[in-house]
């Protein structure tokens, strides 16, 4: 007779332990199941860590990929926002919001703030980085993600 028939409780315990180790505990928050950001990813982000005021965010943003987006606030200043986990529908989202956990009115790098994505579960996704980028860095981010970058205006001719 095989061992798994003689000791069904032991076999069940081993099976349960294997399932828990392979899949993680499902009682915690959803984002704890996703792997955390690689510190090398954050160090390699262009721009410099920064913040933007929520009152200056007018809804202008571009999804670069499933984890990164460019937010324009105020007006044309671009911020690279990286999310803790991928959101496959990010490029199709019509609206986007933010929640500042510390109630400062600002979304900042290293601050535990959230992006609010309607029609996605969970709709609250933790932000791992906010970097202010130059117009050229924003352009390169768009191009490297297969998106069309806006053309630069030709310098105006001056009369002498």
Kindly give the confidence (pLDDT) of every residue in the chain, 160 residues in length, as a single tens digit, with 9 standing for 90 and above: 544 444 444 443 433 333 333 333 333 333 333 343 444 466 689 999 999 999 999 889 999 999 999 999 876 789 999 999 999 988 888 889 999 999 999 999 987 899 999 878 888 999 999 999 999 999 999 999 999 877 654 444 444 4
pLDDT of residue 141: 95
Pair 103, 46 in one domain: yes
Residue 119's CB is within 10 A of a number of other CB atoms, namely 10
CB 42, CB 129: distance < 8 Å = yes
Name beta bridge partners: 68.
Answer: 82
Pair 116, 92 in one domain: yes
pTM of the complete model = 0.67
Pair 62, 50 in one domain: yes
Task: Tell me how far apart the alpha carbons of residues 112 and 114 are, in angstroms, rounded to a whole number.
Answer: 7
Residue 25 belongs to some domain of the structure: yes
Residue 86 belongs to some domain of the structure: yes
Task: Tell me how far apart the alpha carbons of residues 155 and 152 are, in angstroms, rounded to a whole number.
Answer: 9
Pair 39, 9 in one domain: no
Task: Tell me how far apart the alpha carbons of residues 131 and 52 are, in angstroms, rounded to a whole number.
Answer: 10
Residue 153 belongs to some domain of the structure: no
**Taking the C-alpha atoms of 12, 13, 18 and 23 in order, what is their torsion angle to the nearest 10 degrees?**
90
pLDDT of residue 136: 94
pLDDT of residue 73: 85
pLDDT of residue 155: 42
Residue 160 belongs to some domain of the structure: no
Instruction: Specify the number of domains making up the chain.
Output: 2
Pair 21, 44 in one domain: no
Task: Tell me how far apart the alpha carbons of residues 146 and 41 are, in angstroms, rounded to a whole number.
Answer: 19
pLDDT of residue 42: 64
Task: Tell me how far apart the alpha carbons of residues 113 and 66 are, in angstroms, rounded to a whole number.
Answer: 18
pLDDT of residue 132: 95
Pair 55, 127 in one domain: yes
Pair 11, 47 in one domain: no
pLDDT of residue 9: 45
Residue 156 belongs to some domain of the structure: no
Residue 159 belongs to some domain of the structure: no
Pair 7, 55 in one domain: no
Pair 113, 50 in one domain: yes
Residue 120's CB is within 10 A of a number of other CB atoms, namely 16
pLDDT of residue 105: 94
pLDDT of residue 43: 65
**Domain boundaries, position 15:** 1-30
């Amino acid at each position: 007779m095989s061992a798994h028939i003689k000791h069904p409780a032991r076999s069940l315990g081993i099976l349960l332990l294997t399932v828990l180790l392979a899949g993680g505990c499902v009682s915690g928050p959803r984002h704890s199941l996703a792997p955390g950001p690689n510190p090398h990813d954050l160090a390699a982000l262009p721009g410099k860590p920064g913040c933007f005021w929520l009152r200056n965010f007018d809804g202008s943003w571009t999804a670069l990929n499933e984890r990164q987006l460019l937010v324009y606030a105020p007006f044309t200043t671009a911020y690279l926002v990286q999310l803790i986990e991928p959101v496959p529908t990010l490029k199709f989202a019509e609206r986007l919001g933010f929640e500042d956990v510390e109630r400062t009115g600002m979304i900042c790098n290293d601050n535990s703030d959230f992006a609010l994505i309607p029609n996605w579960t969970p709709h609250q996704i933790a932000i791992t980085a906010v970097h202010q980028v130059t117009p050229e860095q924003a352009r390169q981010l768009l191009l490297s993600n297969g998106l069309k970058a806006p053309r630069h205006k030709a310098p105006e001719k001056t009369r002498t």
